[in-house]
Amino acid sequence: MTMGDDKTKLLRSLSIDRSASEPVRSAGRRRWLPIGAAVAACVVVAFAAFAVAEFRNQERPRDTSSQPVAQSQAPQPQPREQAASSSESGNLAASGYVVARRKATVAAEITGKVVEIFIDEGMTVTEGQIVARLDSVLAEKDHELAQSRAEAADAAIAAITADLQDATRIMTRIQTLSQKNFATDADLTKAQARVGVLTAQLRQAQSQFNSASIDAKRSASVLYKHQIRAPFSGVVVERSAQPGEMISPMSVGGFTRTGICTIVDMDSIEIEVDVNEAFIGRVVAGGAVNAVLDAYPDWSIPASVIAIVPTANREKATVRVRIRFVQKDPRILPDMAVKVTFLRDAKAGSAAASKTTAAN
């Protein structure tokens, strides 16, 4: 065997026999054919369903007559501080809040420690009623001392007055004797000098008495300020301080409070709304208004316009309007949200009726 024959056999042993792998490939192809056919069928069915749905949608008539007009004309929500647009009847609507014209945080005019508090939230107080009391031991002692000084000055005035009256009688007697040459000029001069000295001492004592009286009144005023009183009649809506706390008319740092309670005069409550300046011409003082609280949406409250505040808000382009309640009700509370409707037609009708009555 030659070298060439050996190379030929070696090459034949390294070659791949494709006839053995051909059946395996044929079996794999036959296995994937059903799967591909199923996928294609699904695609065709989906396309056919989509085409049928599109055809039905095109053939179905569009009936918009049954849709309510209110849905297409639904008003856009407005901010609370902005006025709403006009209603179908021509009335202007706006939103605002219930406010109190008289609302005060009651505080002390002096710095001191709270000893007693006589009020609580929800209580009704009258003007001048004591709501709290501060520690007044030192103030009472100062007042007693000032009173004693005033009494001492008063007693000094009485004593000097008695001496002056006696000196005046002596001087008058000496003057009579001097005219009859029974008394010397020296005795007369001495008596006159004593009367002058006592007169000056009396004026000094009277000045001291006036000063002591003023000091006594001042100490009495300071003592009076240790009792904190309500500035007006109203309802307590907030209690801030507690017994034992320090209170001051101004904040001095730490835990010093500046207020005892907050009082609201419920008779001074009214409505404040911001009306868009584009519609402010439709609001007039004295005009009729219907108010509806958000807390009681089924309750229509009659009201009227008090005044239009003569200034505009540059940022919001609104004008503030004050509205009064025709009749107060305990259910109406400060800071409640409220919606109002300015009844322009109602006012015009009432004006026309008044003119008709006057003409008749």
Q: How far apart are CA 221 and CA 44, in angstroms?
A: 102
Q: Tell me phi and psi for residue 85, to 5 degrees.
A: -75, 170
Q: How far apart are CA 325 and CA 270, in angstroms?
A: 6
Q: Tell me phi and psi for residue 117, to 5 degrees.
A: -130, 130
CA nearest to 251, candidates 263, 259, 243: 259
Q: Tell me phi and psi for residue 307, to 5 degrees.
A: -165, 160
| Cα→Cα distances 348→261, 325, 341, Å | 46, 20, 15
pLDDT (tens digit, 9 = 90+) per residue, 2-53?
555 666 666 566 555 555 444 444 445 555 566 666 666 666 666 666 665 6
pLDDT at 63 over 70: no
Q: Which two tokens stand for residue 13?
A: 């042993």
- Structural contact between residues 272 and 322, judged by C-beta atoms closer than 8 angstroms: yes
User: What class does CATH assign to 103-135+227-264?
Assistant: mainly beta
pLDDT on residue 67 = 38
Q: What is the mean pLDDT of residues 88-95?
A: 75
Work out the number of other CB atoms within 10 angstroms of the CB of residue 302.
12
DSSP letters for 46-64: HHHHHHHHHHHHHHS----
pLDDT on residue 254 = 55
Residue 297 CB partners (closer than 8 Å, separation 6+): none
pLDDT (tens digit, 9 = 90+) per residue, 289-298?
999 999 999 9
Up-side HSE of residue 274: CA atoms within 13 Å toward CB? 14
Q: How far apart are CA 171 and CA 193, in angstroms?
A: 9
- Structural contact between residues 296 and 306, judged by C-beta atoms closer than 8 angstroms: no
pLDDT on residue 188 = 87
pLDDT on residue 91 = 82
Long-range CB pairs of 139-148, under 8 A, 24+ apart, other chains included: 139/219, 139/222, 139/223, 139/226, 140/223, 142/219, 142/222, 142/223, 143/216, 143/219, 143/220, 143/222, 143/223, 145/219, 146/212, 146/215, 146/216, 146/218, 146/219, 146/220, 147/216, 147/219
- Structural contact between residues 123 and 240, judged by C-beta atoms closer than 8 angstroms: no
Residue 341 CB partners (closer than 8 Å, separation 6+): 87, 91, 92, 93, 289, 290, 291, 292
- Structural contact between residues 312 and 250, judged by C-beta atoms closer than 8 angstroms: no
pLDDT on residue 306 = 94
DSSP-derived secondary structure letter, 210: H
Q: How far apart are CA 216 and CA 33, in angstroms?
A: 119
pLDDT (tens digit, 9 = 90+) per residue, 286-328?
999 999 999 999 999 999 999 999 999 999 999 999 999 998 8
Q: What is the mean pLDDT of residues 150-159?
A: 94
- Structural contact between residues 234 and 266, judged by C-beta atoms closer than 8 angstroms: yes
Q: How far apart are CA 236 and CA 218, in angstroms?
A: 30
How many Å is the Cα radius of gyration of the chain? 51
* First-to-last C-alpha distance (Å) of the chain: 151
Q: Which two tokens stand for residue 267?
A: 């008779």
List % helix, strand, coil for the chain (3-state, nearest 5). Answer: 45, 25, 30
**Environment class of residue 236 by beta-carbon count within 10 Å: exposed (0-12), middle (13-18) or buried (19+)?**
buried
- 353 or 177: whose pLDDT is higher? 177
Is 92-101+267-353 a CATH 2.40.30.170 domain? Answer: yes
Query: pLDDT class for 355, splitting at 50, 70, 90?
Result: very low
* pTM for the predicted model, two decimal places: 0.58
Q: What is the mean pLDDT of residues 148-152?
A: 94
- Structural contact between residues 321 and 284, judged by C-beta atoms closer than 8 angstroms: no
pLDDT (tens digit, 9 = 90+) per residue, 247-274?
888 765 556 678 899 999 999 999 999 9
State the average pLDDT for the chain.
79
